[in-house]
Amino acid sequence: AAEPDLVGRHVVVSAGGTREPLDPVRFLGNRSSGKQGYALARTAAARGARVTLIAANTSLPDPAGVDVVPVGTAVQLREAVLGAAADADAVVMAAAVADFRPAVYAAGKIKKKDDRDPEPVALVRNPDILAEISGSRARPGQVIVGFAAETDEVLANGRAKLKRKGCDLLVVNEVGERRTFGSEENEAVVLGADGSETPVPHGPKEALADTVWDLVAARLS
């Protein structure tokens, strides 16, 4: 059985991928299944934490004993995270959040017009939730964890991202069309703002999740 080292703690985990609607039938999205975030939620609950799981467009069963908050877009995810973070000891952002959304939402389905090239899709920036919660921690001592999904220069990009976002820990994993997204396994390096580097070998997403909670628990105590 897991050690109950998160008893009395409230942790917030985001999972899945945001969808940014273009019109009533189309969206810009990504390949996240939510499995890594759900593994984090399950393992935190097993270690005794009260868990709020903010789930963006997942189709996984609700983990037992976990409070699940479904969301769609990055803006909705932000509202849910900021609300739940207010009394949280730790926030782990495993969700794949769209950096941009369509500037205009068409109330009716966008039609193709004969003999005309399609209109380009204009995008605007979404809020950076991880940077926002890292910069204005809701509570002293709150531990903030981000994930970095990289396709190349994985560690160098991860280190730069950790600085830019200002979080305590950043889990750097490599992603691709058939890599990490949707699979049962992951491998990563967890970078600490204190300069620490914790490699996690290829294995179940639960194993990476438990390493994240080990590092969080050490920072909470």
Active site residues: 30
Size of the site for ligand PMT (CB under 6 A): 25
Find residue 136's DSSP bridge partners.
none
Q: Are 130 and 93 in contact (CB under 8 A)?
A: yes
Q: Which of residues 106-145 bind ligand PMT (CB under 6 A)?
A: 126, 128-130
What does 64-79 look like in DSSP terms, one character per residue?
A: TT-EEEEE-SHHHHHH
Binder of ligand PMT out of 4, 135, 182, 204 (CB under 6 A): 182
Span from 5-13, 27-35, 101-109, 134-142 in contact with ligand PMT (CB under 6 A) = 27-35
| Per-residue binder mask for ligand PMT (CB under 6 A), 82-111, x = binder | -----------xxxxx-x------------
The two tokens of residue 35 are 């499995």
Q: Which of 71, 79, 33 is nearest to 54 (CA)?
A: 71
Please report which helix (H) or strand (E) contains residue 157, including its range: helix 154-165
Site string for ligand PMT, 50-79 (x = CB under 6 A): ------------------------x-----
Residue with token string 């979404």: 126
Nearest CB to ligand PMT, comparing residues 49 and 130:
130
Question: Contact with ligand PMT (CB under 6 A): which of 12, 13, 34, 52?
Answer: 34
Joined tokens for residue 156 = 């160098």
